[in-house]
Amino acid sequence: MKHPILTIDGPSGAGKGTVSRVIANQKGWHYLDSGSIYRALAIAVLDQAVDLENKVEIVHLAQRMVLEFSGIEVLTVKLNTVDITARLGTETTGGVASQIAVIPEVRAVLLQKQRDFSQAPGLVADGRDMGTVVFPDAAYKVFLTASAEKRALRRHKQLIEKGFNANLEQITRGIEERDLRDSQRATAPLVQAEGALYVDSTDKTVEQVIKEVLLLIL
Ligand code: DC
């Protein structure tokens, strides 16, 4: 039998990363943070000062970029041998990632990089299109969401804890913009996959959400 895959899709700040990491660790499975691949490309685009309208060059950058991932709880990411971990989580990186993620050719190039994470004994894949496009045959699918207010509050707290300057109003606006772009794009928009378990984490603790998702796998 092929190894199991759990996909966790949802908007930013729903808690996908935290839940995915805990479950991957607990099961001894691999972990794919697909957002970090889009974020790494965003950093390459920013560093090379590529215009966001220049799709050809963005696709070239996607084809050429070499990514190295290590760790689960503390994920370290190298882009072309340079450690970019500290820059991955910023709102600027997230905003640009969301903008380049609308380009179908970019998504096509990044598809195989994501599928390469699927290895025995199992995989937890977190993103927007894990259950719909990247791993449509996954055995277990979850759609994890929360109210925009709660997600903005969580993101704000996360950024402060990481030592970044964070403004709640700006974050709320950023989240709303990103939600709209990610769910309305023509290619692989954020939608609940068929058969996915719908979990609203607005009034739930991380532990409660994990318990609910684990019931699916057991
Ligand atoms: O999950 P995240 O916030 O790290 O993702 C950053 C952006 O990357 C998100 O706003 C849209 C894009 N993304 C995507 O299009 N598809 C994915 N599977 C993951 C992320």
Q: Which residues, in sequence order, are CB contacts of 179 under 8 Å at separation 6+?
A: 11, 12, 148, 190
**Burial of 53 from C-beta contacts in 10 A (0-12 / 13-18 / 19+):** exposed
Determine if ligand 1 sits within 6 Å of the CB of residue 154: no
Q: How far apart are the first and last CA of the chain?
A: 17
Residue 198 carries which side chain, given as an amino acid letter? Y
The pTM (predicted TM-score) of the whole model is: 0.94
Q: Which CATH architecture has domain 5-201?
A: 3-Layer(aba) Sandwich (3.40)
Determine if ligand 1 sits within 6 Å of the CB of residue 101: yes
What value does the mean pLDDT take over residues 72-85? 93
Instruction: Take atom 16 of ligand 1 and give the residue whose Cα is closest.
Output: 128
Distance 1 CA to ligand 1 centre (A): 30
Residue 135 carries which side chain, given as an amino acid letter? F
How many residues are listed for the chain in this entry?
218
Determine if ligand 1 sits within 6 Å of the CB of residue 41: no
**Is 1's pLDDT higher than 70?**
no
Q: What is the pLDDT of residues 113-149, one digit of tens each?
A: 999 999 999 999 999 999 999 999 999 999 999 999 9
CA angle 177, 183, 185 (to 5 degrees): 95
What value does the mean pLDDT take over residues 181-203? 96
Instruction: Take atom 13 of ligand 1 and give the residue whose Cα is closest.
Output: 35
